[in-house]
């Protein structure tokens, strides 16, 4: 049987269109993107993004097919990454406790969503080197070498290099920075008998090196100023690129943002 390419039938497939729209809306509710980003998809600027969505759908479909089928299908979608079509990040098994959102675990005895990562507290890479690592347009100017200061909750923190226990905390709702810091200070667990403090931008950077499969992470433990605005490090991904960004300390974080903590 030849490959099905009757794309015109898609327009007539009301049931399929309704199903796609329902799934799309549910994805938006899970990810909580700015509505402007969704409106952009139906503009000329969104054409390339829509092409990538279709390519990703084909790639995921191919991965589910028998090996013999994959050898002959859509060669144009395979190959190395390009500037216009980067490869999706490689998702790896967690080295911590139960991995985030039911990903595989390696049997480590840490509680769920906890990870043991060695932190060196080496100086952050230069702005130019970060751009080489993440991509030219994927690093916030806040990492241009300006001074970073510790939040009051982290003043006097232990900066001895070694293994640190991290917690990726999903509050399951919108939250505010001070609220999260207070939660960590008061929380007690078997691996944090003295509570948790927020991770700094340096710790977040080293954490993401060890766990590239985890993103949408906010590090409230340190900040840099943009004028009089207190900015904190925020790592996110859209599935094809990873961005080292910044966000305002003040105000509310939406539910898709997760706070990175360190056991005291």
Q: Regarding predicted confidence, which is higher, 241 or 143?
A: 143
Of residues 83 and 211, more confidence is placed in: 211
pLDDT over 70 at 253, yes or no = yes
What is the dihedral sign for C-alpha 212, 217, 223, 226?
A: positive
pLDDT at 120: 97
pLDDT tens figures, 7-55: 555 555 555 666 677 777 778 878 888 777 786 777 766 777 887 787 7
Distance from first CA to last CA of the chain, Å, rounded? 62
Taking only the tens place, the pLDDT of each residue in 171-197 is 999 999 999 999 999 999 999 999 999
Burial class from Cβ neighbours inside 10 Å (0-12, 13-18, 19+) for residue 196 reads buried
When comparing pLDDT for 98 and 226, which is higher? Answer: 226
Distance CA(218)–CA(200), nearest Å, equals 9
Q: How far apart are CA 91 and CA 85, in angstroms?
A: 18
Which pLDDT score, from 0 to 100, does residue 78 have? 35
User: Does 196 or 61 have the greater pLDDT score?
Assistant: 196
Q: What 3-state DSSP class applies to 149?
A: strand
Q: What pLDDT band is residue 238 in, cutting at 50, 70 and 90?
A: confident
Instruction: Say what the pLDDT of residue 183 is.
Output: 98
Report how far residue 54's alpha carbon sits from residue 83's, in angstroms, rounded to the nearest whole number: 18
| Mean pLDDT over the full length of the chain | 80
Rounded CA-CA distance 195/185 in Å is 5
Q: Are 223 and 151 in contact (CB under 8 A)?
A: yes
- Give the model's pLDDT for residue 29: 78
The model scores a pTM over 0.85: no
């Amino acid at each position: 049987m030849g490959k099905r390419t009757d794309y015109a039938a898609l327009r007539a497939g009301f049931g399929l269109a309704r199903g796609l729209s329902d799934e799309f809306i549910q994805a938006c509710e899970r990810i909580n993107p700015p509505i402007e980003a969704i409106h952009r998809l139906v503009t000329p600027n969104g054409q390339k993004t829509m092409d990538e969505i279709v390519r990703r759908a084909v790639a995921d479909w191919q991965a589910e097919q028998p090996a013999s089928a994959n050898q002959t299908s859509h060669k144009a979608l395979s190959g190395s990454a390009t500037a216009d079509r980067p490869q999706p990040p490689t998702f790896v098994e967690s080295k911590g406790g139960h991995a985030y959102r039911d990903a595989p675990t390696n049997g480590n005895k840490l509680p769920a969503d906890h990870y043991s990562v060695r932190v060196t507290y080496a100086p952050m890479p230069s702005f130019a080197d970060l751009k080489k690592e993440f991509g030219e347009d994927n690093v916030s100017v806040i990492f241009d070498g300006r001074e970073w200061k510790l939040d009051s909750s982290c003043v006097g923190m232990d900066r001895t290099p070694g293994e640190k226990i991290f917690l990726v905390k999903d509050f399951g709702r919108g939250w505010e920075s001070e609220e999260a810091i207070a939660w960590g200070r008061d929380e007690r667990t078997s691996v944090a008998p003295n509570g948790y403090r927020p991770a700094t931008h340096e710790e977040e950077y080293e954490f993401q090196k060890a766990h590239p499969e985890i993103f949408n992470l906010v590090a409230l433990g340190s900040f840099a100023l943009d004028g009089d605005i207190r900015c904190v490090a925020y790592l996110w991904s859209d599935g094809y690129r990873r961005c080292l960004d910044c966000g305002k300390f003040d105000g509310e974080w939406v539910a898709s943002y997760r706070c990175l903590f360190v056991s005291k």
